[in-house]
Amino acid sequence: MKKIIHRAADRGIQDHGWLKAAHSFSFAQYHDPAKVHFGLLRVLNDDIIAPGMGFGTHGHDNMEIVTIPLKGTLAHKDSLGSIGNIKYGEVQVMSAGKGIQHSEFNGSSDEEVNLLQLWVFPKERNIEPRYDQMQYDLEKANNSFLTIVSPVKVENVMWINQDAFFSLGTFDADSKASYKIQHPGNGAYVFFIEGQGIVDDTLLEKRDAAGVYDTEEIEFDFKENSKVLIIEVPMQ
């Protein structure tokens, strides 16, 4: 097993007033040549958006964009005609494909929204753009990892145009768990949303991450109540 450790405090921190962002990889004004991507994972942004504020209409192409709200409600509108809200307990997947325009705003007038937005390079380029969202079953993520995004089209899992898997889990203090790599050769970016635990003899705390590769399974030893997101991606 090989791993790369990214500490929460070492992320690119940006405070724009209405937007407080922490970038795990180079993004916008933040650039670190050692943190451009992990395999085909290009972006992991931890955003806090002030009430009523957000990102006006802008475009993307040839990128798989996954949004996971941690708190509050995000209002989405795009050039495909999709209009709606996404909240905690839901996941949104957008294939930018050959081009899409969209906007994202905090849907509340009095509560911040905190979300994770992740970009993954696509498997096929210039496909027809698409947008989808779903609610996942939080109970199934209790003391185990629940796959919420997958390249395999199955019920209750969002499809992605890449051999990538997103899995969430909530774990009790003093519990143990393991995660098996689902596609041969993939690596896994392990992001501690909350809590504290040991991964391959390394202690990870809130918002710390470990990029793990050249392994078939990852073992976890949780020291606190924890919530973990695993982004499994091809390494090249």
From residue 85, give the alpha-carbon distance in Å to each of 67, 75, 129.
12, 4, 19
In angstroms, rounded to a whole number, what is the distance separating the alpha carbons of residues 53 and 51? 6
Q: What is the 3-state secondary structure (H, E, C) of the chain?
A: CEEEEECHHHCEEEECCCEEEEECCCECCECCCCCCCECCEEEEEEEEECCCCEEEEEEECCCEEEEEEEECEEEEEECCCCEEEEECCEEEEEECCCCEEEEEEECCCCCCEEEEEEEECCCCCCCCCEEEEEECCHHHHECCCEEEEECCCCCCCEECCCCCEEEEEEECCCCEEEEECCCCCCEEEEEEEECCEEECCEEECCCCEEEEECCCEEEEEECCCEEEEEEEECCC
- The answer to the question of whether 216 is labelled as a binding residue is no
113: its two tokens:
């929204």
- The answer to the question of whether 37 is labelled as a binding residue is no
In angstroms, rounded to a whole number, what is the distance separating the alpha carbons of residues 84 and 78? 10
- The answer to the question of whether 104 is labelled as a binding residue is yes
Q: Provide the annotated binding site for Fe cation.
A: 58, 60, 102, 104
Q: Which residue positions form the known binding site?
A: 58, 60, 102, 104
